[in-house]
Structure 1
Amino acid sequence: MSAPQDKATGKIWEGNRKAAELFDGRVTKPALYDAVEEIKDGNVYLSELSQYVDEQICSPSPVLSPNAGVFPDRWWGSLRADLDYVAKVSTDRVAVRQEWADRSVPRFLDMPAPQITEWETAHGDLHPANLTAGTPYLLDWEGFGRAPVGYDAAMLLVYSLLAPGFTQRIRETFPVLETEPGRVAQIIVVTELMQSASRGDYPELVPALQALAADLT
């Protein structure tokens, strides 16, 4: 990564190093071995050396394809255990803000924003392209932080809506999705993806997003 010297800070810049401090050796993620910053001509260059993971990712795209398979019980158990651990870790980093929800939910879903009353620490970007198919390893930790309870499970669910068998297994593994906090988390994630769709991302997912939003109201 690189950034002007006065901007080489903040959530994404520090994310992998903060995640390594809290989670390396505790959850299934690539270990961060070293990080080096170099200043040159007013810019800061950050290099990170991470563990090589010799496993395929679940999907080349964050949006899971309709013909995706369902992984074995061991895979789901490992993922659930890792997310349960992450949720309990204390951090001052923020992945989702109520203020953003207040502005964005009415704009993209045409409904009042829900109040987020229950929070936990989340990976923050848990979609099929950030999970490996074997163990699973959880990849790309730059954005972790506080989020609505059930946020990670909701994100995995919403990115997997085109694969009904996979979404059913997500719901079975993460019963929080059937609770009120889980409903709120799904509304937040659907809003995020509708915002992305407004910029041209993942058009194939829009009908499923709209259908889920209707079910959640």
Structure 2
Amino acid sequence: MSSEPDDPEVAARMRSAHTAACGFLGAAPDTQPPGGKTREAWGWRGRTLGRPVTGAYGPGWLRIVHSPLDKAAGKLWTGPEDAEQLVPRQVPRPRLHLVRQWTEGENAYKAELYDRAVGETVSPTPAPVTAVPSLTAAWWSDLRTALACLSPVHTDRTAVRQAYLDRAMPKYLAFLDGPVPTMPRAWSTAHGDLHWANLTGPELGILDWEGWGIAPAGYDAALLHAYSIGVPETAERVRQELSILLDSEDGRFAELVVITELLQSVERGDNVELVPALRQRAKEVWCRTTADGVEVLLRKYD
């Protein structure tokens, strides 16, 4: 989740669209949801707005997505609907019941009515500023199972493109000692935005399926670790619980991929506080990757 957009006109426009969507879908704002006052969940720069609602499906969550009219198509626009059709139910997430699209001038909107998630997001922000709440062994087991179920899903959706890796990794990892590889050994299907504000507890739920698709193997685990890296205790827990994904050649390459993406995001003002830790982690991963490469070479000629 993000904070309310700085532009009051954007906030007012999205709230108005949410009210209109309630009318379209026969829902009503839930003025007394569990936990107190009505919550608003904003997406990046006001692109989305979610609120608790009630209606024929019971307690729900109504999310509004905005796009300029000429860009209301493609991967991000259809992600939740595609996930509802293709991602197995063993991957825990709120069910999507209804979708409604409409336009107002040069603006396109989509309303998505979901089941309300059980529990709360683990963190209000993708990168927690303090250690995340204690999560049970069952929660971590469920996360590993969910990622294993998602990985083999067949889709033509793409979360990370090879052309991006070829272009961005040499640029944003230029501080490493040597040419950086840009070709993963393996690809698999990923959520594509697995961070702490998209995970719920104490019962696991995975939210926001806009950007899911094919990515380098281990991508989701690497992304969760990268967003945790500013809190060493949390990062260490991720490494322990997801070691089967991270402690491998594929996992180390995936870490370099997500570090590239987060370092690039700094150019638009995001994740600035993570930069020192990301650069240090990239050096650690690079040293391990280089050492493994030398070991393989030595075994080859032994």
Q: 1:105 to 1:8 in 2, by over 3 A?
A: same
CA distance in 2, matches of 1:183, 1:194: 16
Larger radius of gyration: 2
Q: 1:156 aligns with which of 224, 230, 254?
A: 224
CA distance in 1, matches of 2:194, 2:258: 11
Aligned-residue CA RMSD (Å): 1.7
Q: 1:73 aligns with which of 121, 137, 147?
A: 137
CA contact (8 A) 2:88 2:150 kept: no
Corresponding residue SS for 1:88: coil
User: In structure 2, what residue type is equivalent to 1:147?
Assistant: A
CA contact (8 A) 2:222 2:251 kept: yes
Report deviation, 1:8: 2.1
**Does 1:212 pair with 2:281?**
yes
Q: 1:17 aligns with which of 51, 76, 81?
A: 81
TM-score when scaled to structure 2? 0.68
Report deviation, 1:6: 4.2
Higher relative contact order (CA 8 A, sep 6+): 1
Which structure 2 residues correspond to residues 18-57 of structure 1 after superposition, within 5 A? Answer: 18-23=82-87, 25-41=89-105, 43-57=107-121
CA distance in 2, matches of 1:7, 1:41: 14
Q: For residues 57-113 of structure 1, what are the alpha-carbon distances to aligned partners after superposition, in whole Å with 9 as ceiling and x for unaligned?
A: 111111122333331101101111111101011100000011111111111110524
CA contact (8 A) 1:55 1:132 kept: yes
Q: Which structure shows the bigger proportion of residues in strand conformation?
A: 2
Q: 1:43 to 1:203 in 2, by over 3 A?
A: closer
Aligned to 1:103: 167
Aligned to 1:177: 246
CA distance in 1, matches of 2:104, 2:131: 48
* Matched pairs, number: 217
Identity among equivalent pairs (%)? 41
CA distance in 1, matches of 2:71, 2:276: 38
Q: For residues 142-185 of structure 1, what are the alpha-carbon distances to aligned partners after superposition, in whole Å with 9 as ceiling and x for unaligned?
A: 00000011000000001001222322222222222111111110
User: In structure 1, what residue type is equivalent to 2:266?
Assistant: A
Report deviation, 1:36: 1.3
Decide which moves more: 91-100 or 38-47: 38-47
Q: 1:4 to 1:66 in 2, by over 3 A?
A: closer
CA distance in 1, matches of 2:98, 2:148: 27
CA distance in 2, matches of 1:33, 1:103: 39
CA contact (8 A) 1:69 1:166 kept: no
Aligned to 1:7: 71
CA contact (8 A) 1:24 1:30 kept: no
User: In structure 2, what residue type is equivalent to 1:208?
Assistant: A
Q: For residues 175-213 of structure 1, what are the alpha-carbon distances to aligned partners after superposition, in whole Å with 9 as ceiling and x for unaligned?
A: 221111111100000000000123221221111001001
CA distance in 1, matches of 2:70, 2:123: 36
Corresponding residue SS for 1:132: strand
Q: 1:161 to 1:4 in 2, by over 3 A?
A: closer
Q: For residues 10-58 of structure 1, what are the alpha-carbon distances to aligned partners after superposition, in whole Å with 9 as ceiling and x for unaligned?
A: 0011011001112363311011011012345465432111111242211
CA contact (8 A) 2:99 2:111 kept: yes
Corresponding residue SS for 1:188: helix
Decide which moves more: 35-44 or 175-184: 35-44
**Does 1:200 pair with 2:269?**
yes
5+ residue gaps, structure 2: 1-64, 287-302
CA contact (8 A) 2:226 2:258 kept: yes
